[in-house]
Amino acid sequence: MDDFLILDYDKGRLHQTKEKIWRFLEDRLQLGLHPKKANVFPVSKGIDFLGYQIFRNCRLLRKSTVKRFIKRTKTYQKRLNRDLMTQEKFQNSLQSWLAYARFGNSWRLRKNLSEKLKVALIK
């Protein structure tokens, strides 16, 4: 896995740690940090990580993640109706996303999407 977070109360120490990681990656592994994604910022704004927006007491699915799911599900429904996809593959796709969505605070979102897309996302 190549995604990671480093949390600390001291902003200066975070910048020092980022610099050490940058040097290690450059010198030992010939790799680099993504210039727009390796940031130091206050966690009060939430942390955008692995498809979630993470706050102190909740995890929300990122809006782009939900939009991508809606678009993909509509496409899969069309394929299913044209017999270009099996019901099993469609259900597997839904169950996979459902397991992912349950990790976040998503009950209301899943309820609304169930009604909108006419699929079972609440159990």
Q: What is the DSSP string of 9-75?
A: S-HHHHHHHHHHHHHHHHHHHS----TTT-----GGG-EEETTEEEETTEEEE-HHHHHHHHHHHHH
**Residue 70 — pLDDT band, cuts 50, 70, 90?**
very high
Note the pLDDT tens digit of each residue in 3-19.
888 988 899 999 999 99
pTM of the model: 0.75
Pairs from 41-47 (Cβ < 8 Å, separation ≥ 24): 43/7, 47/5
Residue 122 is predicted with a pLDDT of 79
The pLDDT value given to residue 45: 82
> Using CA of residue 25, residue 26, residue 31, residue 37, what is the dihedral sign?
positive
Domain boundary assignment for the chain: 11-58, 61-117
Residue range 89-117: mean pLDDT, rounded: 93
* Span 18-36, average pLDDT: 93
Query: What whole-number distance in Å separates Cα of residue 38 and Cα of residue 61?
Result: 21
The residue count for the chain: 123
> Does residue 104 have a pLDDT over 60?
yes
Q: What is the pLDDT of residue 17?
A: 95
Q: What's the half-sphere exposure (Cβ side, CA atoms, 13 Å) at 10?
A: 5
| Mean pLDDT, rounded, of the chain | 91
Bridge-based pairing state of the strands 52-55 and 47-49: antiparallel
